[in-house]
Amino acid sequence: MGQSNLMHDVIHDVPKAGKLGRGFGHRGGLTEGIEAALQREPRRGRITTSSQQSHTAGSSFRRSWLAWRSVSWLRIRFGPLALAVLLAAPLGPSWADDEVTSAVAAVASEVAQKQKLRALFPDPTASVQTTPSVIPQLQIDGDSSGMIATFQPNGSTPTAGNAFFQPLGSNGRTCFTCHQPQDGWSLSAQHAQARFNSDPNDPLFRRVDGATCPSADVSTLAAQRAAYSLLTHKGLIRIGLPMQSTMEFQIHDVSDPYGCDNNPVTGLTGSKSGILSFYRRVLPSTNLGFLSTIMWDGREPDLFQQSVDATLGHAQSASAPTPSERQQIVGFEGCTTALSTTANPLDLPFPCGTPKGTGIFTAQIHDDSAGGLTDAGTNGGPVALATRITKFFIGTNDPLGLNPTGAAFNPVIFDLYDAWASATNAGSQDGGEGDQSGQGQNGEGDGSGQNGTVAPRSAIARGQHVFNSVLINITGVGGLNDVLNRPSISGFCGTCHDTPDVGNHSVKAPLNIGIANAGPNSPPALDISGLPVFTLWCTSGSMAGTMFQVTDVGRAMISGKCADIGKVKGPVLRGLAARAPYFHNGSAATLSDVVEFYNQRFGIGLTAQQKADLVAFLNAL
């Protein structure tokens, strides 16, 4: 357990350990050689966490930002703040090309490792995933705050004829194993725990990525409980990605409570070789037409390739799914407008080709306190969401002027509950019981007559207003403040969650707000216990000499750039109530924890009422 002496052998090219380094406390272990290097380069050498990156790498960040979006002018509009910024670094295709090449290599290595582990650490059982016979056009399930619903514009889907629900691999898993409607087509920790309690041999619990390490002992029920603890407690899946010799950083130290990274069979074989394991939340397989980036770190080029890699890796198949099976998987998930070939050149790298009207759309449909979320002129639920897909395109409402139409950024991201903004429109306090099932004439709830809905509906409307209008002093965000060379930016929630009525990034924009930080600068209000901690040493590039301490290297495992350490994408915000815990590492157990993190991290100064209202609104998405 913990750090292993093996690290002294595998990390053979790191200087001999010396005294504790500044800012690392008992987790330290900076070497004398590194300290000497820091002294030689006082301008650049510093110890930092990933959200406190040095501005000395600004030109590198600019090149990355520009190449990612293929534009040279960025026009920023953050409400009252309007800036015109020229980033003069020349455009060049090499950065983007290198990203694609490195992503392909990283995924190929990830899949190859999982194939190897299938032989080395076989599962004792091979049960098959239980699957319903049909997914109806409107599927409604209960969740922690009410009901969540999934809508299919083209009608119901029989599961027997769709590869999404078929065990295409060797371990009994299907796509449905980790993507289920009651969890917003993700995986909640609550239901992972319930499934373990019901059947520890459920296909979800496979050593390849469900366990803390593929080599974990699963010989007894107690051993299984320990091996799958991150999955049942935080809903985390292990992602093993390769270190590469071309990376600007190397591993200086690893504190891994599971020993997976310290074992050369499952982890590192050197400071810049072998596999690093990260533990990440399962992203929803719904509302995919709104995506601008696939996977937390953007390593997959399109949904078709993702279906192949998931089958070979997570399901441990000996062969890739056929073209017909890939089409069935992606057609069910949905990839209609956003990632199709359109007139928008920014869409072109994401071919889709599925017929319009395919796919699933998921959102909260009923709130236990406020009643139906489509009542009294509101637009909650998945049916209204499905109509938004025809209006979405890459760059829509982008705050940095990357909207191809030239339209300015609008911080009013959500208008779902405008009709509840006044008490007179918030519902009747003396009406009947309403429709507790959540299904009214339009199939999405008719709770307008429920007793006592005025106050909770008003709270949801106020929370929407908080999301749209409260100013935030954005500081220390990797991928934003450093790229623009602005220590402080006046923005809103929608500055980063800019897609209208959806809430994810409308362009590729990997950001680091400090969720992956560890050590003295661990994120406030979040629980990162149980996660490995990596100390990284930047050995080349503009950030050479900088140290990072993180629980997840993020996009940097793909790009190899120190500037990308800790960066991940922002996910779609619809259906949040069904898929706790939150953030990529499951560090926020509740939406209250999410709100408290942002409040403390950015010093927003929300009142207790504003926090409660914002949570009510997020639960209603």
Complete DSSP assignment for 496-548: TS-STTT-S-SS---BB-STTB-GGGPPTT---TTS-EEEEEE-SSTTTTEEE
- Confidence band (pLDDT; 50, 70, 90) for 352? low
pLDDT computed for residue 432 by the predictor: 32
CA 536 and chain centroid, separation = 22
For residues 379 and 300, what is the distance between their CA atoms, to the nearest angstrom? 32
* C-beta of residue 114 within 8 angstroms of C-beta of residue 107: no
**The pLDDT of residue 301 is above 60:** yes
Q: How far apart are CA 46 and CA 21, in angstroms?
A: 11
Residue 355: pLDDT band by 50, 70, 90 thresholds?
low
pLDDT surpasses 60 at 5? no
What are the backbone dihedrals phi and psi of residue 317, each rounded to the nearest 5 degrees, phi first? -80, 150
pLDDT in tens, 476-511: 999 999 999 999 999 999 999 999 999 999 999 999
Tell me the residue range of the domain where 52 lies.
6-619
Whether the predicted pLDDT of 35 surpasses 90: no
Average pLDDT of the residues of the chain: 81
Stretch 450-472: mean pLDDT: 93
Of 317, 321, 351, whose CA–CA distance to 337 is shortest? 351
pLDDT of residue 451: 59
Instruction: Please give the average per-residue pLDDT across 184-207, as a whole number.
Output: 97
Task: Answer for the pair 569, 286: CB distance below 8 angstroms, yes or no.
Answer: no
What letter does residue 124 receive in the DSSP assignment? Answer: S
Of the pLDDT bands very low, low, confident and very high (cuts 50, 70, 90), residue 527 is very high
pLDDT in tens, 229-287: 999 999 999 999 999 999 999 999 999 999 999 999 999 999 999 999 999 999 999 99
Higher confidence at residue 52 or residue 149? 149
Q: How far is CA 167 from CA 99, 170, 364, 365, in A?
A: 32, 8, 29, 31
Q: What is the band of 353 on the pLDDT scale with cuts at 50, 70, 90?
A: low
pLDDT band at 520 (very low <50, low <70, confident <90, very high): very high
For residue 143, being part of any structural domain is answered with yes
pLDDT at residue 43 is higher than 60: no
Q: Give the β-pairing of 46-47 and 546-550.
A: parallel
Q: What percent of the chain has pLDDT over 90?
A: 67
Single-letter code of the amino acid located at 569:
K
pLDDT, greater one: 200 or 448: 200
Q: Which two tokens stand for residue 168?
A: 């295409």
The answer as to whether 547 is a domain residue is yes
The overall longest dimension of the chain from CA atoms, in Å, is 76
Q: Does 1 map to a domain?
A: no
**Average pLDDT of the residues in 418-442:** 49
Element (H, E) at 596: helix 591-601
Q: Which of 491, 490, 507, 489 is nearest to 499 (CA)?
A: 507
298 domain-assigned:
yes
Tokens representing residue 392 in the block? 């979405």
The answer to whether 248 and 543 have CB atoms below 8 angstroms apart is yes
Residue 288 CB neighbour total at 10 angstroms: 25
Residues 6 or more apart from 194 whose CB is under 8 A from it? none
Q: Is residue 554 a part of any domain in this protein?
A: yes
Confidence band for 338, pLDDT divided at 50, 70 and 90: very low
Select the more confidently predicted residue: 73 or 283: 283
How many domains is the chain partitioned into structurally? 1
Higher per-residue confidence, 249 vs 96: 249
Query: In this predicted structure, which of 116-125, 199-208, 433-442, 560-569 has the lowest mean pLDDT?
Result: 433-442
Phi and psi, residue 312, nearest 5°:
-70, -35
Extract the tokens encoding 51: 């959200």
Strand intervals (E) in 520-593: 533-538, 546-550
> Would you state the pLDDT for residue 69?
36
Residue 84: pLDDT band by 50, 70, 90 thresholds? very low
Question: Taking a C-beta distance cutoff of 8 angstroms, is the pair 89, 69 a contact?
Answer: no
